[in-house]
Amino acid sequence: MTVREPIAVVGLDCRFPGARDAQEYWALLMDGRDGTGRVPEQRWDAERYHAVPPSAPQSAREARPPGRSNTVRGGFIHDPDAFDPAFFGIAPREAAAMDPQQRLLLQCSWRAIEDAAIAPQDLAGTATGVFVGVMANEWAYLALKDYDTITARYGSGNGYFMGANRVSYHLDLKGPSLAVDTACSSSLVAVHLAMNSLRWGECDHALVAGTNLIMTPVINIFYTQAGLSAPDGRCKPFSAAADGIGRAEGVAVLMLRRLSDALADRQPVYAVLKETGSNQDGRSNGITAPNRWAQEQLIESVWQRAGITADDIGFIEAHGTGTLLGDFIEAQALGRLTSGRSGGSVALGSVKSNFGHAEGAAGIAGLIKAVLALHHRTVPPSRFAHDENPKLDLPGQRLSLLKSPLRLPSGTVHAAVSSFGMGGSNAHAVLASAPRVVHRTRPGAPGVFTVSARGPERLRANLLAQADALSRRPGDQLAQLCWTSNRVKSRLPHRVAVAAADLPTLVAELRKAAERGDERGATRRAAPSVAFAFTGQGAQHPGMAAQWYRSCPAYALHFDEVDKLLAPHTGQSVRDLILDGDPEIHRARLAQPALFAVGYAMAATLTEAGIKPSYVIGHSIGEFAAACVAGALDPADAARLVARRGELMETLPEDGGMLAVALDAAEVEPLLAGRQRLGLAAVNGPRRTVVAGDLGELTALKAELTERKVAARPLTVSHAFHSPLMQPMVEEFRRACADVSDRRPNLPFLSTVHGRELTGDQTLDADYWARQITAPVRFAEAAHALLTTDITHVVEIGPASVLTPLLARLRTAAGSTASLHTAHPGEHAPGHRPQQLFGELWCAGLTPDWDVLYTESDRLPRRLPPYLFDESFRAWRSGSAPDRPEPSVPPTGADAAVPPLTDRGESCPPTPAGELPDSLAALARRLVCRVGGHDPDLLHDDTRLHEDLGFDSIQAMELKTRIESELPQLGTLPVEELLESMRTVGDLVRYLRDRDLADAAVTLTPEGTG
Amino acid sequence: MTAPTAHLASVGTCLPGEPVDNATLAKFVGVDETWAEMFIGNTSRYFAVDLATGQVRYSLADIAATAADRALAEAGLGPSDIDCVVMGTATPDHLMPATVNLVADRLGIDNVPTYQLQSGCAGAVQALDVARTLLLAGRCATVLVIGGDVCAKHLERDFDPGSRTSAELVNYALFGDGAGAAVLSTDPLGTGIAIRQVLNRLVGLGREPGQIIDWFGLGDRHSDRPAVSEDYKAIEETVPPLAQQMFWELLGDLGWGADQVDFLLPPQLSGRMSDRISAAMPAPGARRINVVRTVGNNGNALPFLQLAELLSQWDGPGRAVAVAVESSKWIKSGFALERS
């Protein structure tokens, strides 16, 4: 962290007129489209507050009818009334009372964080700052006009100061949180504050926003009355057609981080903020006047701190409001810095040309344009550039308005963004293109893509949005895109997971899921309680769970580890055996260690992923891995024992078999009486009993059962496990177990020897393991005991689905609602089975740590489309004049009421139409008085307009309009000339006289009239 | 300011699906396995179409975008870093829009010049030539070059085994699908290899085309012209001398001696023919980079597959020369690489 640490723009979201998101914003800019439109009916009745000034107004009142705006157009965003209150846990009534700016800020913030490939939930509780540039508080004007209806929620829903706090509150962000109002430069000043906050280490992430919603015609009327409003509602910056401001809306959020942090996290970076600055005009040429010197000074100092000169700047996103004066001053200020530039001109543009002046969101609108331009290495054109204002002499300043997109060169490119506020608070930023970073992809790596939403309908919409975006991505990014979805989009209750090994399949499956609407919704369990059920012998098959080894790096590591433990005892690598698909796996000598290895590695993988069991149960050989997981057996001991166990069993004569009988254990036991070489081998459930022992006796038993019409099926086994035939090896195995420490399990261990949970001082000692060889596997009883606990999920650990169907039958009897899962369904499992399983467990309400599924190179954040919110909720207040009766009299009428303001100028009799002024000097004085409301008696030739009369740029422009309408023969007065002449009243009169004479000369020349 | 150098920043390739061996080919399209092995010499190839079901799984744009994305990732570049895209192919997905523009869209590349060359086996070299020329002229700093072909259109699964002509059978055993891409840059990114020379020459005056790939529309779709035809005799006779000429011309231009060439990338026709041409080429000491035997003849992708193989074998300083000959209307082409 350094004083000059560059700040990365890592995420963004925005809504501007004609653009619902950043992608549409970019398209609007690149196409050079016009985002303006008529004032939507919902806002206010545009006609009611509209007045077209007559072409030859008889009076100032007529030129600017009070309470009226000269335009019915502006830049309005779509659906500003839509919000998703349920998503943020806000009551609809509260949402309806909230300023829509707060609502949209919340949604944009969420989306900007997601765009940064971060889950908003991961920022909860962190030192994340929120800096919101805002100047419009119109909702409060509308909502708080009736004191009697003010409730608590009205208080918190109103006031722009709540904009930032609202975001911090709902997202639980604990860094600085402030609304910034410096008028039209608010949002770029907010960026400046966020930048400093990040550099100081006050916060690690910062959301910077700008917002502006136009709910009333107040500022339209103000702009009109001040002579600043463009009649067509469009800003035409630096254009000869520039005739004032068109107002616009916008809500935008940027996600910022220190560049070093972003790079360390391999986060995608749009662009880098090198330096920002802010200053004030001070006592300039009037409080609303822009100040060339202040602008120049600010820009120069920011460039200097950024270590760049005009030569390094690729393009400038200007404030560019499209007022003659503002454009003139800005071009002059920039020109002082750029005119000496080497090489060609520097590109100049202003996004205001596309939809107008977004006031509180204007700075960030320009900033996002610059950020996207650096990201795409292309600068969008500026509208109205084809009609450049020649008086600005842009070529002389080495500034060129972009008529078509500009392709930026490779390497580091710099851009500058200006935003100036009425009242004199200026802001400027220098950006650079993001540093080049090398990221490798691993072709063919599988993944599981997760989409979640607050409700089923939104889930479908979001599934389709993701599918569309993924269909346009290169195939190798599959695993990275999946990992990002796990990281960013896996926290909401309604869920769909799709595992895939290639992108087209993933896209197709996401679309199918959207069509089916088969989400597993809202599995909300306060505390999930998971059991691992380890499969026993019989589940083994050649190449078993090799899919796990190949597609899950964590499993491969655990498996290698256990293979190393086994190798000294098995004399060969169980891993190689499995990966080669060797059928030798069926021999007890190999099957038992291999099953142990698979179970152990799977359990270790799930545990590593945070799926930790609260209970374990193992079927026969499965109890060894279960004991390891429960901490009752060291993996090294377990490896030695299972190898020895299998080996000893294999040395026994192959004269035994096993028979599955469709009877209850209690019905089978009497049949075994007198059959010394048979035993009850396993009690798997109702009518699921296994008998084992001498092949001859088994055949006899089977015949007897067949006669009684009882189904009995011999199992394909080499030996009669869990039968008296195993007795010869028991003592030897007990000796092998002798040095195993008799630790008690640290988890509830459902013993299938005892048929219940191991309790009291029962341990897994040598006796236990010895007894386990011949004792029946009392799975049904143990599983029943398990299912009557608070268990919520059971995962069968092993290479096939054997216990799951048994558990499913037992579950009903136990009255359990636990969800059952099979880690690996068998040999036909797809190559990406681990990914599938994780998705399945997540849909069932568990929260796996997805990282274990991906290699380090695939744990790379990639941008995915942000969440699509529900838009069905709507709340809005239309803007009518709050406390005044409707204007019933046409204000342009001859008998319009005289406003209560003391306007000394109005006391002067208006100049009769068609009559030349008696004296130009008298008229000039009268107009100056009228504009400023001054006493004509106090006006002298040496009175200074700015210093003495407080003329600012708005008044200067108003004066210009009045002079032009009173003295039409003078034509349009060039703004720069007029400003030059406005030092004193005497200067003004001299200027007008010179101009009058010049014009007269022209009119006397016949050629001049043509 | 010194003149810019064109560097080979990275290479990416994409071979669709799993390799199809001769036994599988025999099963689905009736090519005799032993014959394919003996006379063509190719042992496997890749198809964008699933031979078992006939389903087209990938378009040229799909595999070209994947190859290009791999090249971009390898170079550590994003789509916005690319100033120009040049693609060579004989088998575009459509006549319009050009596949290069679909690939650009897939990668997120916009507002840059793009070119597609209608080309055969020399197409990759032609594309490199255009790219290098733009780089040396200072028009661009980073160019994405792509080559690829997909022959799904010409794979007929529904057939009468007895009716195949031997020329048709050769085609089945010979061709395959694939795409390759390279990033060229004036910045010495990635491999540290400079592209010293790229040459292309049409030498078809008065010569009958050695290979024709036809195309049909609504008006002539029922015509009995073959979609693909080759004059294998002419190819066998003409390619080796043209390849040698190109080799010498490149060396002459650069003032290199044959003994200074460390790697040679010969024309890739079939496994057998490439071996023969390769052995007869000058510079016996240069290590040969042949890939067609296992990847099949995938036309415009081949030089990129050779480059990828070259990069895996080449470390340290050295020189490499590649030659490709297009036998349609006869084009000889080649390029020379150097790492100092």
Strand runs (DSSP E) across A919-1001, as ranges? none
Are the beta carbons of B83 and A407 separated by less than 8 Å? yes
Domain shared by B203 and B130, yes or no: no
Q: What is the mean pLDDT of residues A917-932?
A: 79
Is residue A661 within 8 A of residue A683, CB to CB? The reply is: no
Q: What is the mean pLDDT of chain A?
A: 89
Q: How far apart are the first and last CA of chain B?
A: 21
User: What is the set of active-site residues of A?
Assistant: 184, 319, 357, 620
Q: Does A27 lie at the interface with B, CB-CB under 8 angstroms?
A: no
Tell me which residues of chain B have a C-beta less than 8 Å from any C-beta of chain A. 57, 62, 65-66, 68-70, 73-78, 80-81, 83, 105-107, 110-112, 141-142, 185, 187
Single residue among B129, B151, B185 that ends a domain in this structure: B185
pLDDT band at residue A619 under the 50/70/90 scheme: very high
pLDDT tens readout for residues A160-173: 888 899 999 999 99
Strand runs (DSSP E) across chain B, as ranges? 7-14, 20-21, 44-45, 84-89, 114-118, 142-149, 178-185, 193-202, 211-213, 228-230, 263-265, 287-288, 318-326, 331-339
Tell me the C-alpha to C-alpha distance, in Å, between residue A987 and each of A328, A766, A934, B89, B299: 21, 112, 18, 74, 80
10-residue mean pLDDT series, chain B (340 residues):
88 93 83 79 90 88 94 89 96 96 94 95 95 95 96 73 69 88 92 94 93 89 85 89 94 94 94 88 92 93 97 94 95 96
pLDDT for res A62:
77
Are the beta carbons of A476 and B70 separated by less than 8 Å? yes
Sign of the torsion angle spanned by Cα atoms A588, A590, A593, A599: negative
Contacts of A531 (CB under 8 A, 6+ apart): A613, A614, A615, A616, A617, A750, A786, A791, A793, A794, A795, A818
All residues of chain B having their beta carbon less than 8 Å from the beta carbon of residue A30 are 110-111
Among A462-466, A724-728, A941-945, the range with the most confident prediction by mean pLDDT is A462-466
The CATH code of domain A7-52+62-433 reads: 3.40.47.10
Q: Nearest 5°: phi and psi at B192?
A: 75, 20
Q: Does A437 lie at the interface with B, CB-CB under 8 angstroms?
A: yes
CATH number of the domain encompassing residue B281: 3.40.47.10
pLDDT for res B1:
57
Is residue A418 within 8 A of residue A316, CB to CB? The reply is: yes
Residue A1 pLDDT > 80:
no
Comparing A26-30, A577-581, A820-824, A922-926, the range with the smallest average pLDDT is: A922-926
CA distance A860 to chain B (A): 12
Q: CB atoms < 10 A from the CB of A677, how many?
A: 17
pLDDT band at residue A915 under the 50/70/90 scheme: very low
Residue A542 pLDDT > 60:
yes
Closest CB from B70, B80, B83 relative to A376? B80
Return the residue of A nearest to B15 by Cα: A443
Tokens linked to B28: 């689905």
Are the beta carbons of B77 and A436 separated by less than 8 Å? yes
Domain shared by B165 and B310, yes or no: no
Q: Does A3 lie at the interface with B, CB-CB under 8 angstroms?
A: no
Bridge partner residues of B115 (DSSP): B86
pLDDT for res A520:
56
Q: Does A410 lie at the interface with B, CB-CB under 8 angstroms?
A: yes
Rounded distance, CA B32 to CA B54, Å? 20
Kind of pairing between the strands at A414-420 and B20-21: unpaired
Is residue A787 within 8 A of residue A750, CB to CB? The reply is: no
pLDDT for res A1009:
34
Query: Mutate which of A376, A433, A440, A858 to disrupt the B interface (most B C-beta within 10 Å)?
Result: A376
The single-letter DSSP state of residue A351 is: T
Q: Does A376 lie at the interface with B, CB-CB under 8 angstroms?
A: yes
The residue type of B168 is E
Domain shared by B48 and B144, yes or no: yes
Is residue A226 within 8 A of residue A150, CB to CB? The reply is: no
Q: Does A409 lie at the interface with B, CB-CB under 8 angstroms?
A: yes
Q: Does A412 lie at the interface with B, CB-CB under 8 angstroms?
A: no
All residues of chain A having their beta carbon less than 8 Å from the beta carbon of residue B76 are 436-439
Q: Which of A179, A147, A142, A185 has its CA nearest to residue A164?
A: A179
DSSP annotation string for A902-921: --HHHHSPPPPTTPPPS-HH
Single residue among B185, B201, B225 that ends a domain in this structure: B185
Tell me the C-alpha to C-alpha distance, in Å, between residue A381 and each of A30, A354, A370, A405, A812: 7, 10, 12, 5, 68
Place of tokens 């007022």: A323
CA distance B234 to chain A (A): 40
Domain shared by B266 and B301, yes or no: yes
Are the beta carbons of A474 and B66 separated by less than 8 Å? yes
Are the beta carbons of A410 and B65 separated by less than 8 Å? no
Tokens linked to A854: 């991906």
CA distance A850 to chain B (A): 24
Q: What is the mean pLDDT of residues A676-703?
A: 92
Are the beta carbons of B111 and A439 separated by less than 8 Å? no
Please identify, in words, the CATH class of the domain defined by A530-654+718-844: alpha beta
Please write down the HEC assignment for all residues of A637-697: HHHHHHHHHHHHHHHCCCCEEEEEECCCHHHHHHHHCCCCCEEEEEEEECCEEEEEEEHHH
Asked, for residue B276, whether it belongs to a domain, the answer is yes
CA distance B62 to chain A (A): 8
pLDDT for res A929:
83
Q: Domain count of chain B? A: 2
Are the beta carbons of A409 and B105 separated by less than 8 Å? no
Q: Does A343 lie at the interface with B, CB-CB under 8 angstroms?
A: no
pLDDT for res B158:
67
CATH T-level fold of A904-1009: 1.10.1200
Using CB atoms within 10 A of its CB, is residue A280 exposed (0-12), middle (13-18) or buried (19+)?
middle
All residues of chain A having their beta carbon less than 8 Å from the beta carbon of residue B69 are 441, 474-477
A812-838 in b/e form (b: 16+ CB < 10 A) is: eebebebbbbbbbbbeebebbbbbbbb
- Annotated domain spans of chain A: 7-52+62-433, 450-524+849-869, 530-654+718-844, 904-1009
Higher-pLDDT residue of A950 and A192 is: A192
ipTM of the complex model: 0.82
Residue A890 pLDDT > 60:
no
Query: Mutate which of A438, A439, A505, A857 to disrupt the B interface (most B C-beta within 10 Å)?
Result: A438
CA distance A407 to chain B (A): 7
Higher-pLDDT residue of A765 and A255 is: A255
Count of positions (residues) in chain B:
340
pLDDT band at residue A525 under the 50/70/90 scheme: low
Are the beta carbons of B57 and A438 separated by less than 8 Å? no
- Provide the CA A143 distance to its chain's centre, in angstroms: 31
Q: Does A735 lie at the interface with B, CB-CB under 8 angstroms?
A: no
Higher-pLDDT residue of A94 and A416 is: A416
Rounded distance, CA A625 to CA A627, Å? 5
Q: CB atoms < 10 A from the CB of A739, how many?
A: 9
pLDDT tens readout for residues A63-72: 788 889 999 9
Place of tokens 């291999």: A594
Are the beta carbons of A407 and B141 separated by less than 8 Å? no
Closest CB from A30, A377, A441 relative to B80? A377
Provide the residue range defining the domain that includes B284. Answer: 193-339
As separate numbers, helices (DSSP H) first and strands (DSSP E) second, chain A gives 37, 29
Comparing A482-496, A637-651, A689-703, A733-747, the range with the smallest average pLDDT is: A733-747
Tokens linked to A865: 């489309």
The residue type of A727 is Q
Closest CB from A30, A439, A472 relative to B106? A472
CA distance B64 to chain A (A): 10
Are the beta carbons of B70 and A441 separated by less than 8 Å? yes
Is residue A773 within 8 A of residue A722, CB to CB? The reply is: yes
All residues of chain A having their beta carbon less than 8 Å from the beta carbon of residue B106 are 472-474
Asked, for residue B265, whether it belongs to a domain, the answer is yes
Contacts of A729 (CB under 8 A, 6+ apart): A648, A649, A651, A652, A773
Asked, for residue B2, whether it belongs to a domain, the answer is no
Closest CB from A378, A438, A476 relative to B76? A438
Return the residue of B nearest to A440 by Cα: B73
Q: How far apart are the first and last CA of chain A?
A: 68
Are the beta carbons of A474 and B65 separated by less than 8 Å? yes
The residue type of B95 is L
Asked, for residue B292, whether it belongs to a domain, the answer is yes
Return the residue of A nearest to B13 by Cα: A443
Asked, for residue B98, whether it belongs to a domain, the answer is yes
Return the residue of B nearest to A376 by Cα: B80
Residue A1002 pLDDT > 60:
no
Are the beta carbons of A410 and B141 separated by less than 8 Å? yes
pLDDT for res A441:
73
Domain shared by B302 and B263, yes or no: yes
Q: CB atoms < 10 A from the CB of B197, how many?
A: 20
Single residue among B185, B210, B234 that ends a domain in this structure: B185
Asked, for residue B297, whether it belongs to a domain, the answer is yes
CA distance A402 to chain B (A): 15
Residue A422 pLDDT > 70:
yes
Comparing A384-388, A1004-1008, B85-89, B177-181, the range with the smallest average pLDDT is: A1004-1008
All residues of chain B having their beta carbon less than 8 Å from the beta carbon of residue A473 are 106
Query: Mutate which of B11, B50, B110 to disrupt the A interface (most A C-beta within 10 Å)?
Result: B110
Asked, for residue B1, whether it belongs to a domain, the answer is no
pLDDT for res A303:
97
pLDDT band at residue A518 under the 50/70/90 scheme: low
Q: Does A440 lie at the interface with B, CB-CB under 8 angstroms?
A: yes
Asked, for residue B199, whether it belongs to a domain, the answer is yes
Domain shared by B221 and B279, yes or no: yes
Q: Does A266 lie at the interface with B, CB-CB under 8 angstroms?
A: no
Is residue A954 within 8 A of residue A223, CB to CB? The reply is: no
Return the residue of B nearest to A375 by Cα: B80
Strand runs (DSSP E) across B56-213, as ranges? 84-89, 114-118, 142-149, 178-185, 193-202, 211-213
Domain shared by B62 and B96, yes or no: yes
The residue type of B10 is S
pLDDT tens readout for residues A331-356: 999 999 999 998 889 999 999 999 99
Q: What is the mean pLDDT of residues A674-695?
A: 92
Contacts 24+ apart (CB under 8 A), A42-45: A42/A81, A42/A876, A42/A878, A43/A76, A43/A214, A43/A215, A43/A216, A43/A878, A43/A879, A44/A216, A44/A217, A44/A878, A44/A879, A44/A880, A45/A880
Return the residue of B nearest to A405 by Cα: B111
Interface size A-B, in CB pairs within 8 Å, comes to 60
CA distance B297 to chain A (A): 22
Return the residue of A nearest to B61 by Cα: A474
CA distance A36 to chain B (A): 26
Q: Which of A275, A302, A299, A301 has its CA nearest to residue A431?
A: A275
Bridge partner residues of A256 (DSSP): A9, A206
